Structure formats: C-alpha cells, structure tokens
C-alpha cells in the first residue's frame, strides 16, 4: 500500500513540474503585456505628430525659399517702382508691362500679382501687354504660389512692403500653417531681418546707380 501511495505522489510531483505557468504568473504576464501595449499605442500618435511636424517645417523652408526667389526675380528687374502706402507695390514689369501690382491678401492668405490695372491719375507711357483698359480692369489677382506648391497646408505672408530710393523693403516675410496661422519658417529665422530688393529705374539700370549720380 505504501508503494502505491509513493507512486501516486511521484506522478503528482511529475505533473506539477510539467504544468507550466501558474495562474499568478499568467496574470502577471498579461498585466505586463497590457502595459507594454498601452505605452506603445500612446507613443505611436506622438511619433506620428513629430514626423508630420518635421515634414511640414521642411516644406515651409522650401516654400519660403521659393517665395524669396520669386519676389527677388519679379521686383529685381522691375522699374518705376512705388508703393501705395497700404502694402501694395506698383511697378513696370519687363514681362507684363506698366501698372503691374503686387500685394498680400489677408483674406485669401496669398501673395498675389495683378498683371495690369489702370492707376488713377497715371497714364503709362508704354504697355507691353496689348489689352484695353476695360479688359485689364476685369483681370483677377493671381497667387504667386499655387496650393500645390504650398501643399495646401501652408501660406506665405508679409506684414508690409514699402519703396524707398528704388529699394523694396518687405517686412515680416514668413510661412505659416493655414489651420492655426502658426509661423513655421521666417525670413532671417529668429532675427528681425527685412527682405530688401534693389529695383531699376530703366531696363538694366539699377535705381541706386542713377540716384547716386551714375548712368541714367
């Protein structure tokens, strides 16, 4: 009888040794796995947000560079440049003729260009664009940067634009998010630096050269 009992006890010990994890161990493992899953799930949105911000910042820097180049190319070859005192630049463009205008539209959040519009009290001596005044008056402002270029999430802006001695000074040039108006990139970075563009008094003649007593 004692031998039978010993055999039964031996089998029980063997079964216990092969039983695997206890209920307590399983519960502890489940709890740990749940905590790891929760931490991972919480980290994914954070990582995604950081990634999207990095991409958006990079796109903002590219857009700012594109706008600076566009403004410099447009106004650097212009002549007879003046401002209207309200942030609008009026000039003679080699491409579109007299009366070309540039402005920042706060409603559409876009830097816009108008090829030609009659200026009150001013009669252009030469108009490259051979369209009548009536047709010119019906032209619409066109953005310098399309939504495709700005990824539809960004826009370029400036605070003011003035003309002094043939130089256009653009203040507060920056690229912002459309949904929050947060500045993502700024000309001159953190420093308050204006974009200054030298124009011409005639084709190929810098305004500064004429004003200083040079040619012209």
Phi-psi region of 28 (alpha: psi -120 to 50; beta: other; left: phi over 0): alpha
pLDDT tens readout for residues 64-115: 999 999 999 989 988 888 888 888 898 888 777 777 889 999 888 889 988 7
Helical segments of 77-148, H only: 133-137
pLDDT tens readout for residues 164-182: 988 999 999 999 998 888 9
Q: Which of the residue ranges 11-20, 62-71, 111-120 would you say has the lowest mean pLDDT?
A: 11-20
pTM of the complete model:
0.65
Q: Identify whether the C-beta of residue 166 lies closer than 8 Å to the C-beta of residue 179.
A: no
Nearest to 112 by CA among 120, 100, 122, 124: 100
Read off the pLDDT of each residue in 173-193 and give the average, rounded to a whole number. 86
Helix (H) or strand (E) holding 26: helix 23-76
Q: Identify whether the C-beta of residue 113 lies closer than 8 Å to the C-beta of residue 74.
A: yes
Say how far apart CA 93 and CA 81 lie, in whole Å: 9
């Amino acid at each position: 009888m004692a031998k039978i009992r010993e055999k039964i006890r031996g089998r029980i010990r063997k079964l216990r040794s092969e039983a695997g994890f206890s209920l307590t161990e399983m519960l502890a493992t489940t709890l740990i796995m749940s905590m790891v899953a929760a931490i991972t799930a919480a980290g994914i949105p954070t990582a995604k947000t950081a990634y999207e911000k990095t991409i958006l910042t990079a796109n903002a820097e590219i857009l700012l560079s594109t706008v600076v180049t566009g403004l410099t190319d447009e106004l650097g070859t212009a002549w007879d440049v003046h401002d209207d005192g309200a942030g609008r630049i009026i000039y003679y463009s080699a491409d579109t003729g007299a009366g070309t205008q540039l402005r920042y539209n706060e409603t559409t959040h876009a830097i816009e260009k108008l090829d030609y519009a009659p200026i009150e009290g001013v009669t252009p001596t030469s108009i490259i664009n051979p369209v009548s005044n009536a047709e010119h008056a019906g032209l619409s402002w066109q953005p310098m940067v399309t939504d495709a270029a700005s990824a539809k999430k960004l826009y370029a802006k400036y605070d003011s634009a003035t003309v002094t001695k043939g130089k256009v000074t653009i203040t507060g040039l920056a690229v912002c998010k459309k949904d929050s108006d947060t500045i993502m990139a700024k000309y001159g970075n953190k420093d308050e630096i204006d974009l200054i563009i030298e124009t011409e008094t005639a084709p190929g003649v810098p305004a500064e050269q004429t004003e200083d007593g040079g040619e012209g």
